[in-house]
Amino acid sequence: MTLTVEAPVNAHSHAFHRLLRGRTHAGADGAPADFWRWREQMYRLAGALTPESMERLATAVYAEMAVAGWTAVGEFHYLHHAPDGAAYPDHAMERALARAARAAGIRLVLLDTCYLQGGLSPEGRPLPLGEVQRRYADGDVAAWASRWASLEDALAEEDGGAGLVSLGAAVHSLRAVDSGQLAELADWAADRPQVPLHVHLSEQPAENAAVQAAHGLSPAALLHSHQLLSERLSAVHATHLTETDIGLLGRTGSTVVMCPTTEADLGDGIGPARELADAGASIALGSDQHVVLDPLVEMRAMEHGERLRTGRRGRFSPAALRTAAVAAGRRSLGISAAAAEDVIELDDSSMRTIGSDPGQLPMTATAADVVAVTVAGERIAGDGVHERLGDPAELYQSLFAHHPELR
């Protein structure tokens, strides 16, 4: 027997981070690896990707998402330019992502990301761009905004009228822009209230300390000072917040996108999801670096994190977890109306789910129980296979065969 439910939305993805799965947990000598080992690997891959390899990779990633039951994705995209920082002709990287999503048949909101400086020192001083970071940066807000405006037409061309690909915006973090640049971005955003705006926020304590040193404010308070906290803003991670931060995010109706499996993998910590929800924030879910691509695992990972953090069960009901995965994700990406007909069918009599109350399947089912995935009325995947693209594992095999430099 199967149960048809509204389809989950992946509100935060870095497609190329999928290459890190299972490759950052030990150093060259076999010793356990820390965050810096992960970062080193991430920058190596970011430096190696081309538009061609990005399209192959993203097609595999989005196909894997589709068979797992994710039907829409917010791609937090900052790998814009060639390795020397020069612009690709006609948005080659962004077009590659759009073609990948169209091939996989899922909805894509490309969150084109503004990234202007190399970070902040512990004392709050701006850092120059590193070698790989040249691929991320546009120089200044005006150049980013100009590229963003021309990107609208390019994505519409790739979408071809299907209504599956749209454009949003993001600020990488408050380490990647200075206060003056943030003010310009706030002015730009105020003129485009319909555009979803995302930002990495308070993922690590060191980020909070550097922003405090640079601006005398926490990251959330700095956003609020520029009137950027609102119902159109999604703060990603929001792991290390003060009570004041929680109140600001809640009172403004902002969305917080939590990525529990990634936050666990990186050792980031467990964010205050229940407190944020109680304060008025909307909680959505994302898979970030794709440690696993399984919306059902992501749902219960948030509840499990709450139980581990507080020692209490039932912090989020199964119904609330479904809301985070579906309605809040749609709201975060601005696709609520468009995605209303996207559904998945779950096997409620598998060895994992048999005997479960149907309303509690988020606590027992996995992507292996997704037997059909429908987007905009079209079945795109089921039983672990994509209707058009086949087994996603074969897509990854083809990627590595054509691009051994990514192994």
| 123: enclosing H helix or E strand | none
Instruction: Output the CA angle 243-75-159, nearest 5 degrees.
Output: 140
Nearest Cα residue to 233 out of 190, 277, 177: 190
**260, 301 contact by CB (below 8 A):** yes
- C-alpha–C-alpha distance, residues 58 and 143, integer Å: 26
- Side chain identity at 187, as an amino acid letter? D
Nearest Cα residue to 148 out of 117, 188, 118, 201: 188
Looking at 12, 77, 237, 240, which residue is catalytic?
237
| 193: enclosing H helix or E strand | none
Nearest Cα residue to 255 out of 192, 342, 327: 327
Would you tell me the crossing angle of helices 92-104 and 51-68 to the nearest 10 degrees?
30
- C-alpha–C-alpha distance, residues 44 and 17, integer Å: 11
> Residue 192 is encoded by which pair of tokens?
């485009």
From first CA to last CA, the distance across the chain in angstroms is 40
State residue 346 phi and psi, 5-degree precision.
-110, 140
- C-alpha–C-alpha distance, residues 321 and 277, integer Å: 12
Q: Does the annotation mark 288 as catalytic? A: yes
Please name every residue paired with 100 in a beta bridge, in sequence order, or none if there are none: none
Looking at 112, 138, 268, 288, which residue is catalytic?
288
**292, 264 contact by CB (below 8 A):** no
The alpha-carbon radius of gyration of the chain (Å, integer) is: 20
Measured in whole angstroms, the distance separating CA 380 from the mean position of its chain's CA atoms is 21
Burial class (CB in 10 A: 0-12, 13-18, 19+), 387: middle
Please name every residue paired with 169 in a beta bridge, in sequence order, or none if there are none: 112, 197
Q: Could you give the C-alpha distances from 362 to 78, 269, 294, 352, in angstroms and in order?
A: 32, 22, 11, 11
Measured in whole angstroms, the distance separating CA 123 from the mean position of its chain's CA atoms is 29
Positions marked active-site: 237, 288
